[in-house]
Chain A
Amino acid sequence: MSATTEAAPAHAPKASALRESAWYPYILIAPSMITLVVVSLVPFIYAIYLSFHQAKFGRVRDFIWFDNYATLLSDERFWNSIGVAATFVFIAVPIEFMLGLVGALVLNQNVRGRSVLVPLLFMPTMMAPIVVGLLWKIMLAGSWGFFSYNVLERFNILTDTSIFASPDLALYALIFVDIWQWTPFMMLAFFAGLQALPLGPYRAAAVDGANPLQIFFHITLPMMTPLLAVIGLLRFIDAFKVFDTIYILTNGGPGTTTETPSILANKMTFEFWNIGEASALAVLVWIAFFAFCTIFYQVAKKRLNAF
Chain B
Amino acid sequence: MAEAVSRPEGSRGLFWTSIVVVYAAIVLFPIFWMATMMVKPNDAMFARPTQWLFVPTLDHFSYVIEQGFHWSLLTSFVLCSISTLLVVIIGTPAAYAFARFEMKGKDDLFLFILGSRMAPPVCLVIPFYLIYSKVGLLDSFLGLTLAYMTFNLSFYVWVLRSFCRDLPVELEEAAALEGWSKVQVFRRVVFPLLRNGIVATSVLCFIFAWNEFLFAFMLGGNSVTTLPVSIPKLITSQGVRWGEMAVVGMTALVPVLIVVFILQRHIVRGLTLGAVKG
Contacts and interface: CB of A to CB of B under 8 A. Distances in A.
Interface stretch (B54-62, B66-74, B191-199, B206-214): B206-214
Contacts of A172: none
Contact of A36 (B5, B30, B45, B154): B154
A4 interface: yes
B153 interface: yes
A240 B120 CA distance: 8
A108 B1 CA distance: 8
Contact of B17 (A15, A113, A231, A244): A113
A279 interface: yes
With most chain B CB atoms within 10 A of its CB, the pick from A28, A127, A196, A202 is A28
Would you call the interface of chain B mostly helix, strand, loop, or mixed? Answer: helix
B123 A29 contact: no
Would you call the interface of chain A mostly helix, strand, loop, or mixed? Answer: helix
A2 B114 contact: no
A28 B273 contact: no
Contact of B165 (A5, A33, A248, A296): A5
Interface stretch (A16-24, A63-71, A88-96, A163-171): A16-24
Interface string A180-205: 10001100110011111101001100
A50 B20 CA distance: 51
A135 B32 CA distance: 10
A286 interface: yes
B249 A135 contact: yes
Interface in A117-146: 117-131, 134-136, 138-139, 141, 143-144, 146
A15 B172 CA distance: 9
B19 interface: yes
A192 B100 contact: no
Given A47-B123, A128-B228, A25 B101 contact: yes
Interface of A: 1-2, 4-8, 14-15, 17-19, 24-29, 31-33, 35-36, 38-44, 46-47, 50, 58, 103, 106-113, 115, 117-131, 134-136, 138-139, 141, 143-144, 146-147, 149-150, 180, 184-185, 188-189, 192-197, 199, 202-203, 206, 212, 220, 227, 230-231, 234, 237, 240-241, 243-244, 247-248, 261-262, 265-266, 269-270, 275, 278-279, 282-283, 285-286, 289-290, 292-294, 296-297, 300, 306-307
Interface of B: 1-8, 10, 12-14, 16-17, 19-21, 23-24, 27-28, 30-31, 33-34, 37, 45-50, 90-91, 93-94, 96-103, 109-116, 118-131, 133, 146-147, 149-150, 153-154, 157, 162, 165-169, 172-174, 176-177, 182, 185, 207, 210-214, 218, 228, 231-232, 242, 245-246, 249, 252-253, 256-257, 259-261, 264, 267-269, 271-278
